[in-house]
Every structure is written in C-alpha cells, then in structure tokens.
Amino acid sequence: MDVPPELDAAMTFTRWRREEDCAALLTDGGLCWVVSGIIRKCAVHESGQRRIVDLIMPGDFFALGPADARTFSFQAVTEGTVTARLTQRNLNRFITENPGVYCMFYRLACNVIARLEEQLLVQGRTTAAEKIAAYLLLMSTRLSGAQDGAVVLPVSRYDIADHLGIAVETVSRAITELRRAGLIHLDGPRRIEMTDARGMQRKADGAR
C-alpha cells in the first residue's frame, strides 16, 4: 500500500543507511510507512538473544506507541531504505480536518494485523522445513520483485533464524532439505527459485 496521497504533504521523508538505527522514528509517536527498502523491528532479551518481530516492507504501515521505544528497536535492513513519517501533531491535525479518514486508518490497521497473523502462522509450523517453506512462500508474496517462482531474500539466514525463533544452523539444514527434495533451487546465497510451488505449499502445510 502506497503512502496515502492526502498525507504526502505532511510527511517527513528520511533515507537510512544499512543497519542504521532508526531511533529518530520514535521521538513522539505518529505513523510511518516504508517507501523503499526494509525496516527490521526487533527486541533484544537480557541474554543478548535477538528476536525479529516484523519485517516492514515497501507500502507497509507501522505505528509507534510509547512502549515501542522501551521494548523494540528499528534498523534499516537495506542500504538507502526510505521511510515516510507523520508526526503525532500532524496526524491529530489531519484527523481533525478530515473526519472521514477513519475508514482509511481502519484499513491500515487491518493490514498490520493481517501481516502479523501471517507471520504467526509461519512460526507455528511444526518442523523447521515446514517453517522455511512457509516463510519462502510468504516472502515471494510480499516482495513485489518476486518473479517466475524465484525470490531474492532481502535478509540473511541469521535474520530468518531470529524471525522464526530457530537456530541459523537449523535454517541452513531446512533449506538443504528443501533443495534435496527438489522443491527449490539455490542460485547464489539469497536467490531461491521455487521449482515446485505446489510441493512447497504441501510441505508448508505439513502434508506427508
């Protein structure tokens, strides 16, 4: 979903370097969209273990509540990631001047919930191979550049592991299992061609 044109004039656009901490987004709440690139939302436990909560991709909207600054951090995954931000003050003014926008914000909120529910379904798969198959299918759907059954992963296997809550070694073994089963073909470290889309869906669904 693109940045709503009626909000464009009130937005602040920022370009981020790869792995740059996007803490400036958390100054006073408000709303953000990813225009290009990817933002990683994650939490780090006291043990030092990182858990990726969300990968926010172009067109995705995310809100920044007061607890976000205490619990989560945001980093740019790709070089030149661009975000569009609407401050809380501008948001309040926009709603006051445009009372009919509630339906638009309702749709935006539903999109966020649907995105997180999809991720929960991926994480809830039983085996590592099922999780990775479901993850690759989800990425191919979310990435607008995915073509001909191939997906270029924008994140590393370490990121995938932290997103799914499994070890990076487990990610690698699951990818190898899918490759040996003839479901995928690896063309470089991040480009994966799904050679059997139906088989991938069956694997993701736990079919034997």
When pLDDT is averaged across residues 154-175 and rounded to a whole number, the result is 95
Q: For tokens 């990435």, what's the residue?
A: 143
CA neighbor of 201 nearest in space, from 111, 129, 116, 117:
129
Mean pLDDT of the chain: 87
Indicate the residue among 120, 152, 174 that finishes a domain: 120
**Phi, psi of 142, rounded to the nearest 5 degrees:** -75, -30
Q: CA separation (Å) from 147 to 78, 136, 188? A: 20, 13, 16
Q: What's this model's pTM, rounded to 2 decimal places?
A: 0.85
The CATH number of the domain holding residue 161 is: 1.10.10.10
Express each pLDDT in 97-106 by its tens digit.
877 777 888 8
Helices (H), the chain: 68-71, 88-97, 102-123, 128-142, 157-164, 168-180, 197-204
How many other C-beta atoms can be found within 10 angstroms of the C-beta atom of residue 159? 20
Domain boundary among 120, 140, 173: 120
- pLDDT 10s digits, 6-62: 677 778 889 999 999 887 777 767 888 899 999 999 988 888 789 999 999 998 988
Q: 49 lies in which domain range?
A: 5-120
Pair (186, 90) in one structural domain: no
Q: Is the pLDDT of residue 146 over 60?
A: no
Residue 192 bridge partners (DSSP): 151, 186
